[in-house]
Amino acid sequence: MEPYDERLTAPRSWWFIAFLIGVSMALIMLPFGTLPMLGGLIGGAALASVAVSSYGSARVRVVAGSLVAGDARIPVSALGTSEVLDAAEAAAWRTHKADPRAFMLLRSYIPTALRVEVTDPEDPTPYVYVSTRDPEGLAAALAAVRS
pTM of the model: 0.82
Count of structural domains within the chain: 2
Instruction: Judge whether residue 113 has pLDDT over 60.
Output: yes
Please give the Cα distance from 139 to 146 (Å, whole number): 11
| C-alpha–C-alpha distance, residues 134 and 3, integer Å | 13
Classify residue 36: in a domain, yes or no. yes
Are 67 and 107 part of one and the same domain? yes
* Residue 135 maps to a domain: yes
What are the Cα distances from residue 104, in Å, to 23, 70, 100, 117?
34, 10, 9, 12
47 and 71, same domain (yes or no): no
Asked whether residue 1 is domain-assigned, the answer is no
Q: How far apart are CA 85 and CA 112, in angstroms?
A: 6
How many Cβ atoms from other residues are within 10 Å of residue 103's Cβ? 19
Domain region containing 88: 59-146
User: Given CA atoms 91, 93, 97, 101 in this order, what sign does their dihedral have?
Assistant: negative
Q: What is the pLDDT of residues 64-95, one digit of tens each?
A: 889 999 889 999 999 999 999 999 999 999 99
Q: What is the DSSP letter of 3?
A: S
pLDDT at 108 over 90: no
